[in-house]
Amino acid sequence: MQSSIMGTLTVSKMELGKHPAFTYHSERALKSVISGLISFGVQIFDSCYKIKNIETLNEIVEGIMNQREIRDEVIMPFVQEHLMDNIRIITAFENISKSLLLNQRKVVHVIDGNIFPDLHKRQRKEPIPFHEYLTESNKVVENGIHTFKGLTTKTLTFSTMFNKEAYLDELKCPAPIVEILNGINMERNELHFTLSASIQFDKDLQELRELNKMIDVLKLDLKHNMPDSDSTLVLKRVPAF
Distance CA 57, CA 69 (A): 14
State the residue range of the domain holding 32.
Answer: 3-225
Long-range contacts at 80-85 (CB < 8 A, ≥ 24 apart)? 81/48, 81/49, 81/50, 82/191, 82/197, 82/199, 83/188, 83/191, 83/192, 83/197, 84/49, 85/48, 85/49, 85/50, 85/51
In this predicted structure, what is the pLDDT of residue 200? Answer: 86
In this predicted structure, what is the pLDDT of residue 241? Answer: 53
Whether 121 is in a domain gets the answer yes
Contact 120, 62 (CB under 8 A): no
pTM of the complete model beyond 0.75? yes
Whether 238 is in a domain gets the answer no
In this predicted structure, what is the pLDDT of residue 128? Answer: 97
Per-residue pLDDT of the chain (241 residues; tens, 9 = 90+): 333 323 333 334 444 456 788 888 778 889 889 989 999 999 999 999 999 999 999 999 999 889 899 899 999 999 899 999 999 999 999 999 999 999 999 999 999 999 999 999 999 999 999 999 999 888 988 777 788 899 999 999 999 999 999 999 999 999 999 999 999 999 887 765 454 455 788 999 999 999 999 999 888 877 666 544 333 333 444 434 5
Strands 109-111 and 139-142: unpaired
Whether 233 is in a domain gets the answer no
Contact 90, 185 (CB under 8 A): yes
Contact 42, 96 (CB under 8 A): yes
Whether 234 is in a domain gets the answer no
Phi, psi of 148 (to 5 degrees): -125, 140
Whether 231 is in a domain gets the answer no
C-beta atoms surrounding 156 within 10 Å: 21
Whether 104 is in a domain gets the answer yes
Tell me how many domains the chain contains.
Answer: 1
Q: What is the pLDDT of residues 171-198, one digit of tens each?
A: 999 999 999 999 999 988 776 545 445 5
Whether 190 is in a domain gets the answer yes
Phi, psi of 238 (to 5 degrees): -70, 140
